[in-house]
Chain A
Amino acid sequence: MRYGRSVLLTACVVLALIIGGISVPACWSQDTYKIGGIFSITGRASFLGDPEKKSLEMVVDEINKNGGIDGHPLEAVIYDSEGDPTKAVLAANKLISKDGVLAVIGPSLTPTTLAIIPIFEKAQIPLISCAAGIKITEPVKPYVFKTAQSDMLAVKTVYTHMQSKGIKTVGILTVEDAFGESGKEQLLKQAPEFGIKVVQAETFGGKDTDMTAQLTKIRAVEPNAIICWGTNPGPAVVAKNVQQMKLDIPLYQSHGVASPKFIELAGDAANGNLLPTGKILIAQQLPDSDPQKQVLLDYINQFEKLYSMPVSGFGGYAYDAMHILARALEGSGGERDKIREGIEKVSGFTGVTGTFNFTPEDHNGLGSDAFVMVNIENGQWKLLDE
């Protein structure tokens, strides 16, 4: 029995060597540049991690096909965090001590990212997170970057739109989790800058079945508009309740519901809802003058052809991160400090999420052009003119 198993093991090792030998082209003259990836590929946040992993692999293959970076082939070592901070920490340690990577892309979530930041700061290895939380890059940490838009920008986009519509008072309804709390904080903080007053602030549980009580409370103070800040399915219940209560004031949603699932869940009630979103949802509707249009269409095309599944906006975070890292790797000679400086110097890079202009003070690099306002009309996203 024991003998049989060791034979099997040997056979596997030999097979792995053969297969491995085939996939590395003989023409590479230089060492491989190893980069790491940590994503929530399975578990609750798999809708983020799965497209991120796929997009990262897609870019790595593309770069290798075009001759690598300065002649060095790229190799991505990707681990699954399952959305769990503990597993993310384990993966980070493995990437640093065992795999010896030059830089890491991910994780997908704010809690997992915050858990591993100290490790990267200590090891002085660049980390490009795909999570949205503003605490990741504020205050600025030398080795930590991120490609996802912050809540701050989403709130700014919503308030700018409200200002142009002459909305002065709002009632806000936020979900009781990290996403909702962070949104609420930004909504309350930025309101005065736009001359808007938050007249009623309510919350709801992620699994609540009915929000009419909260909406009744908001209706009583007669705001000009309602903002709902949450991720599916709560906001769809809010949209349904608003329709049922026949509240005829605009309902703004957050970018947390910017996926076709929201329209499916809310049905008719989604019509007329306004929300900020990355441009990927409405890439076709962008004017040709928009520098992002071509990038987006290429990405959508490439992704859908390779994986035969509809693209989501989230994979773009890893796609952009890899392209940014590739630029920083050029001419770095594989030195981590030079890579870090390289990322800080990336500017004018047009990615899927937006146009990135990194500086030593700004490790997110996105401007407010990363979000656009859309309206839902007859179950379709409709780009709103500024």
Chain B
Amino acid sequence: MQELLQYFFSGITNGAIYAIIALGFSMLYNATGLINFAQGEFVMLGALGLITFWRGLELPLPVAFVATVAGVSLVGLVLERLAIRSVRKPHPIVLIIITVGASILLRGVGMLQWGKDAHSAPSFSRLSSFELAGATLLPQTLWILGSLLLIVLGLQFFYKKTLTGKAMQACAISKRAASLLGIPSERMVLLAFALSSAMGGVGGILIAPITMSSYDMGTMLGLKGFCAAMLGGLGSSWGSIVGGLLLGILEAFGVGFVSSSLRDAIAFILLLLILYVRPTGILGAKAVQRF
């Protein structure tokens, strides 16, 4: 029982991170129909950016947090402006391949900037871990879950209550109709890029204290986030959260009850299964209304 709870805690910590990354994938897919394979690299930029601002420049944590998120979304903006907007024939496949190229470029830049060594950051709070029915819970887990909740509530508010959010949703439903109604759809795409890369950055910031950050950490995390998004149903925000948490928990149980070398395989086996059995994901666009 004690083990079960410990695997569960370990699972939701990783799962919440996957969920935040998946939210970034989903959001961009919603607004543009595009899958951004550089999403994992935004996570890397977030983690290493935080280490630079917080540990290197010794800024207070909230300032470092804002600076990192702003920096990462700026990178997202530049990517959209220079690499995506300027494509003459924006076929989805071409755009997706561009994002793969962007991920390789960002990894290279990360390597030049931060070197090949790993870096680490201390926990956000000085509290030591809690004990709950024999299992230990990290304060950082609470930070991550809290942030996930805030992001979800924020998105909910953005989509339901603000004009910009509604306009973005309109773009998602039909770009052409939206622009006929006077919605600047190009600006919405730009905003979606900035928001989804910011989401990746937040994921990176939150994960920095519980693991080691290096220039090549983004690839695996990006793929796991993609699996989570597919699992939950690409385009659905609730789906991303369900998919992320489910993936994290299944991974932890897989390590605990079967074998630790199975960890990464689980994500991809699940991805294959879901693509085969239910291509729309658990909460796919057809089954559930987007929020």
Contact = CB atoms under 8 A, between A and B. Distances in A.
Interface of A: 44, 46, 176, 202-205, 207-210, 212-214, 216-217, 220, 232-234, 236-237, 240, 244-246, 261, 264-267
Contact of A205 (B135, B207, B216, B264): B264
B25 interface: no
A203 B6 contact: no
Given A233-B118, A267-B120, A213 B214 contact: no
A245 B136 contact: yes
A213 B253 CA distance: 8
Given A44-B116, A204-B260, A236-B212, A212 B6 contact: yes
A147 B263 CA distance: 37
B207 A213 contact: no
Interface of B: 2-3, 6-7, 9-11, 13-14, 17, 116-120, 122, 128-129, 131, 135-136, 138, 207, 210-212, 214, 216-217, 220-221, 252, 255-256, 260-261, 263-264
Contacts of B210: 209-210, 240
A292 B49 CA distance: 43
Contacts of B211: 208-210, 237
B238 to A, nearest CB: 24
Contact of A209 (B9, B14, B116, B260): B14
5 contacts: A176-B261, A205-B264, A213-B7, A232-B212, A240-B210
A212 B261 contact: no
A205 to B, nearest CB: 6
A264 B119 CA distance: 8
- Interface majority SS (helix, strand, loop, mixed), chain A: helix
Contacts of A234: 212
B7 A202 contact: no
B14 A264 contact: no
Given A209-B210, A217-B3, A233-B212, A266 B10 contact: no
A203 B260 contact: yes
B142 to A, nearest CB: 13
A202 B260 CA distance: 6
Contact of A203 (B129, B217, B261): B261
Contact of A213 (B10, B217, B220): B10
Contact of A217 (B128, B221, B256): B256
Contacts of B128: 244, 246
A237 B264 contact: no
A20 B128 CA distance: 63
A27 B143 CA distance: 72
8 shortest interchain CB distances as A-B pairs: A233-B212, A209-B211, A233-B118, A213-B255, A216-B6, A212-B10, A265-B120, A244-B129
Contacts of A233: 118, 120, 212, 214
Given A213-B252, A266-B120, A267-B120, A237 B7 contact: no
